[in-house]
Structure 1
Amino acid sequence: MRTARTWPTLGAALTYLGTSFGTYLKAILLLQGVSVLVVFPGLAWLFELALDQAGVEAVTRQTLGEVLRSPVADLLILLIGALACLVVLVQVGALLVIAHRLAHREPVTVRTVARDLLGAARKLLSPQVLLFVPYFFVVLPLGNVGVVATVVRGIRIPRFVVGSLLETDAGTWLYYGFLAMVLYLNLRLVLTLAVFVTSDASVAASMATSWRLTRWHTWRFVVLFGVVLAVAATFLVGVVNVGLAPTRFTDRVMPDASPLVAGFSLAAVQIAVFVVTGFVAAMLAQVVVVALGVRQGEGPDGGAIHSAPAEPVAARLHGPRWVRVVVGIAGVVALAVLSVYNTSVMTDIGNRSETGVIAHRGYPSRGVENTIPSLEAAAAARPAYVEIDVQQAGDGGIVVVHDTNLARLAGTDRDVYDLTTAELTATTVRAQGHEATVPTLDAFVDRAQELGVPLLVEIKPHGHESPGYVEDVVALLQAKGVAGTYLVQSLDKGVVEQVEALAPEIGTGYVLPVNLGRLPATTADFVAVEESSFTPSLLAEAHAAGKQVFVWTVDEPAAMRGYVREGVDGIITDLPTRAAHERDAVVADTTLSSRLEDAVHGILSW
């Protein structure tokens, strides 16, 4: 069996692509257009219908059980999963079918591609389709090797889960071990879809074939994909710099023209990104097909794969002249519409209210989280609030600590609810070269008042509290005279409602580590959303309901600027000094080029 040599494979793939890139672009434009106009709205509608059947606004940690208890909602979610699998097959499979037909000098038309995809789709009508579910929704998106469909591109491990794992040595090994396993599976199964859509093989047989053909050759695919992505990234950097140049120029000499120039530039960059990502998708599909052919004994010098696509095949893809005219007009109209829309966006994102910076557990890199030194370090950054976590000790005292178990910070495998307040406050905690002792909430509030820093207190029930736990926290805040200036939040909706009933003067927040859907029903004054669950529509819905939105835990400078421009009310971060700097820079910067740069960064990140 022949080896999928790197440069000949790339050369052959590039030859096919060079003569038929227009075909791929049309296919990608059609697939993405159908996805945006039909598929995504359809899947969103089905998801909303499932939520309505379950009687909830969103899937959260607390509503998941209600969703699972609704048979109709479960059936709808299964339907959504099945349709999503079909969409992935069509989006990725279409490019692979085109690549296969070009390599074998077979006609490439909408009809022939649809016919091949329909034949492949029929094979999904078996229990083996269940093998594709983890492949499509775990291996493909998390490994991100090869062609990835739009519908699964946003799937990722939430940042708070990653952050929690990286806090311990065992978690770090687990996280990177999992990523290594997913990457390995991705590389070994990279030929699966190509085999599936270009042969009579079943799902299981396609996976088995890919596994066999990639044995001892995974590194070659790393090189193949790496070269393609590196070239595309280099080209994109150049495109972005060219796109930013006109706005940077008008910022200096004609500021009044900058919104229009920025809008047009952003539209041009968006189209360029679409073309480049189209090139990457097409090139990767062609690479996979050529590599598959070589591994099966085909190649430029023999077998079914030819050195270049036949001209008659490529010519058939152009269609009638009027089609090309319509496509050209559509492109011009798209550029004009995008330019007009982006001009308003560029102007609007500079007119945001100031976003508050909230120090997450103090300043963890300058003091052990949730300790007095960490509070003191955070106070120097002048945050809007310092966020802390409180739990009840075994004797009823309230202490400031995040983990229920002390193993991570104190190196002792004991739980907070098994220790007295005295034992906890005598416990030394260590992290990042710092050490301190566990403070009581009483002592923490006293020091915060001395520093003039208000607190955002997160009540964390561990399941062993006394009935008056929440009342004790509220009573302490009231006794200290800070109930009207502090905020209280919790993952537990019942705790939030209890705080509101006990002290209406306290601002309350509902913490959402996961939120799929609309804004959950809550009487809280704000919602604290983990980054992966934040959406502009959620922000708009919350503001329309008179509620604020805090996002956690935001530590990337570009993300900080993005949330400020979005108009979120608070950024919860481990880096309050950097967040304040980025926030102030966005507020003070009246030029359009920086806004355009952040917008472009958002496009590239997606």
Structure 2
Amino acid sequence: MVIKETYRLMTKNKCEFLNIILFTQFMILFGSFSIMKYCLKWLLVFVGTKSLTLDSIPNILFSPIAWLLLIVILLIATISIYFELSTIMLGIMAYKHQKSLSLRAIFHHTIKNLKEDISPQFIWLLLYFVSAIPITQLGYHSFLLNKLSVPTFISLELQKYFFFMLLYIVFLLVSIYIHIRLIYALPLLVLSRFTIKQSFVKSWALTKAKGSFVVVPYLWIWGVFQIGQHSVAFLSEKSILLLGHEMTFIKLMMSSTILALSILIICFLHFSLKICISVLLVDVLFKKELVTDTYYLDKQYKQYPIMRWIKYFGLSSIICFIYGITCVYMFFYQFEDKTVVIAHRGDSVHAVENSIEALENAAKQSADYVEIDIRLTKDNRFIVSHDNNIKRLSKLNKKISDSLFDEIHGVSVTDGIHVSSLVSLEEYIEKAKQLGIKLVVEIKHHGKEKSDYLALLANIFKRYDVEKDYIVQSLDKEIIETFQQKAPNMKVGYIVPFQFGGIPDTTVDFLVVEESSYNHHVQDLAHFSSKKMFVWTVNTKKEIRRHLFEQTDGIITDKLDLVHQTKNELSDNHSLIQRYKNVSQYLFVQLVK
């Protein structure tokens, strides 16, 4: 019933409603995004840096102008999300009352509502949207929120500790529960005269009432659309199979058309899902007579023909762009194996992380480098370990920084499946040289090191004659730049776990960014500054395919086997069906996410 009503809503008046929604999406993309980027740029100028990183956050905290610009950015984001979702709600109500709704009317009502809602309560609306970031893939979300996610490295690190993993799961469950209870808040805010606080309170009370619990139909609708999207992808691939494996001009054109059509249908299903869930929510409120007031539909605005032409021109441009980009990739894409593959702490899937066995397994799987972490003992010896306290892997509550080398060296470690022992940096280098594999050495700083420890590390690399082969990196900019002075012949890198804007000012040879902070523009900026760009931690098939497809400089991964599998798929680019698979699996993620 809901899906049928959504279909009628979207096809009424020659899809005018859909055109308005698409138009608002692109207004947000090219309007809100541009303003937010401009504000961020000026924010960074005022704090005297080129990028927003963990290092620059303290400068922002002590700059009133930076705070002001940050508030402006958050307000623009909140208003954009509010405007995007209110467009759908207003369109549904206009349809129910059989009245037309123009973009001008939506603007007028949204601005009027925002003027009334701008108050200290507005912070609750902002927090409501921010709390939705971990669950944006559950269907009812904003275009802006869908671009944000919890960084992978945070969730991966939390999973290594039972207590923190439990806290993270509880956090996700609480977030889901809150959004279930507040699921009517935004429709009430847009379609009624309730304030933000009243909308939240009313939604909380309403979700207790009989007939208001929409989780089951919500999940049912979400499941139907997921099946629909996968069915479209499946049918498009089967259609290409019917064309055969041989590549000809006609077949390439036909496959490009099929791919472009599939992407457009899946985009349509994405919008339809959001509208369908909105119809479900508005229906409940409508039946309970909570949104019967139609004051926002009383005033009618003249519809200017130019606006309709602009909207249809925008829609046509989208279709042409998608078709054009599929044709370009289908005709010209050739995979080149240029991405450096770095095994994160060795092959930590089939051995204990940072162990000799992990090194050996990574060498067998032909990794270009093996990344390891080193810590300094109390008597100035380097141990290969990620954690300062070895309790996680050894069950011994002992810190490397407070221990002598002989007390910590050789201690048994296990990940629950595999068993190994802690080794020195020298032992690791000797084994790596024997296996013929290079190392990426990350300096872990615990704050108790003596002033000459970087010179000590540089001498170790010099003694083993690996200065030109190994790479050294660190999360601490000052440490890595100091080490660069101690070992001028070595390549060094600065790890930037949280990064927005341009690239930081530094003398290092390469930058390492977290996967969620990476984009191709940032890599181009790095190249312009004669720096390489590595990305961590790249572990999913989607992420691996993207970075190999775009020829990112380097990826740090725990999934060496998955990387090799994806490389083989991308290398097999000689048949029509394989070329289609390589291009489609990349474009589906980039254009439809």
Instruction: Please report the TM-score for the alignment, with normalisation by the length of structure 1.
Output: 0.89
Supply the AA of the counterpart residue of 2:279: Q
Alpha-carbon deviation of 1:438?
0.8
Larger deviation, residues 596-605 vs 370-379: 596-605
Match of 1:136 in 2: 129
Instruction: Return the match for 1:160 from 153, 160, 171.
Output: 153
Shift of 1:128: 0.5
**5+ unaligned residues in a row in structure 1: which ranges?**
1-7, 307-312
**Segment of structure 1 superposing worse, 316-325 or 495-504:** 316-325
* Deviation at residue 568 of structure 1 after TM alignment: 0.8
Number of aligned positions between the proteins: 586
Q: CA deviation at 1:158?
A: 0.7
- Helix, strand or coil: the match of 1:252? coil
Which stretch shows the higher mean deviation, 523-532 or 269-278?
A: 269-278
Once residues 381 and 160 of structure 1 are traced to their aligned partners in structure 2, the CA distance between those partners, rounded to angstroms, is: 23
Deviation at 1:304, TM superposition (A): 5.0
Coordinate RMSD, CA, aligned: 2.8
C-alpha distance in 1 between matches for 2:183 and 2:26: 26
1:4 match: none
The residue matched to 2:49 in structure 1 has which SS?
Answer: coil
- Contact 1:141 1:148 survives alignment (8 Å): no
Cα distance in 1 for residues equivalent to 2:181 and 2:214? 9
1:88-137 CA-to-partner distances (Å, cap 9, x unmatched) read: 11001111122233334454333433333223212222111011111011
Aligned match of 1:489: 473
Indicate yes or no: 2:427 matched with 1:434: no
Q: Label 1:221 to 1:141 Cα distance change in 2 as closer, same or farther (>3 A).
A: farther
Q: Is residue 54 of structure 1 aligned with residue 38 of structure 2?
A: no
For residue 506 of structure 1, report the CA deviation from its aligned partner.
1.0
What is the SS of the residue equivalent to 2:131?
helix
Which of 437, 452, 462 is 2:436 aligned to? 452
Match of 1:276 in 2: 269
1:348-386 superposed Cα distances (whole Å, 9 cap, x missing partner):
652544212111101112111111111112111111001
User: Structure 2 residue aligned with 1:579, among 550, 555, 563?
Assistant: 563
User: In the alignment, does 2:584 pair up with 1:597?
Assistant: yes
Contact residue 389 and residue 398 of structure 2 kept, 8 A: yes
Q: In structure 2, what is the equivalent of residue 213 of structure 1?
A: 206
Q: Decide whether aligned partners of structure 1 residues 329 and 206 sit closer, same or farther in structure 2, where only a CA change above 3 A counts.
A: closer
* Higher alpha-carbon deviation: 238-247 or 48-57: 238-247
| SS of residue matched to 1:390 | strand
CA contact (8 A) 2:125 2:196 kept: yes
Looking at structure 1, the residues matched to 83 and 554 of structure 2 have their Cα atoms a distance apart, in angstroms, of 40
Between 325-334 and 108-117, the greater mean CA deviation after superposition: 325-334
Contact 1:363 1:374 in 2 (8 A): yes
| Aligned CA distance change for structure 1 residues 223 and 32 (closer, same or farther; 3 Å) | same
User: Structure 1 pair 463/568, CA: closer, same or farther in 2 (3 Å)?
Assistant: same
Deviations 1:34-62 (A, max 9, x none): 12222211211111111112111111121
| Match among 68, 76, 99 for residue 83 of structure 1 | 76
Q: Against the structure 1 CA distance between its residues 12 and 343, is the aligned structure 2 distance closer, same or farther, given a 3 Å change threshold?
A: closer
Please tell me whether the aligned partners of residues 17 and 286 of structure 1 are also in contact (alpha carbons under 8 angstroms).
no
**Percent identical residues:** 24
Q: Unaligned stretches of 5+ in structure 2?
A: none
Whether the 8 Å contact between 2:346 and 2:358 is mirrored in structure 1 is yes
Classify 1:524/1:457 alpha carbon distance in 2 versus 1 (closer, same or farther; 3 Å).
Answer: same
Aligned equivalents of 1:343, 1:581: Cα separation in 2: 26
Q: Is the 8 A contact 2:192 2:293 kept in 1?
A: no
1:522 aligns with 2:506: yes
Equivalent residues of 2:51, 2:503 under 8 A apart: yes
Q: Residue 171 in 1 paired to residue 158 in 2?
A: no
- Partner Cα separation in structure 1 for residue 110 and residue 75 of structure 2: 16
Instruction: Write the mapping of 1:217-236 to structure 2, written as runs, cut at 5 A.
Output: 220-236=213-229
Residue type of the partner of 1:449?
K
Residues 189-238 of structure 1: CA deviation (Å, up to 9, x unaligned): 11111010111111111100110001267994222222222222222223
Change (3 A) 1:536 1:288: same
Q: Which of 198, 204, 225 does residue 191 from structure 2 map onto?
A: 198
Deviations 1:123-177 (Å, cap 9, x if unpaired)?
2221110111110112366355563221121222111000011112112211111
| 1:122 is aligned to 2:115 | yes
Question: For 2:214, what is the secondary structure of its paired residue?
Answer: helix
For residues 329 and 92 of structure 1, the distance between their equivalents in structure 2, rounded to whole angstroms, comes to 23
The counterpart of 2:246, out of the listed 253, 258, 266, is: 253
How far did residue 590 of structure 1 move?
3.8
Task: Report deviation, 1:289.
Answer: 0.6
Residue 26 of structure 1 corresponds to 19
The alpha carbon displacement at 1:86 in A equals 0.7
Q: How far 1:505 moved relative to its partner?
A: 1.7
CA contact (8 A) 2:51 2:499 kept: yes
Change (3 A) 1:18 1:258: closer
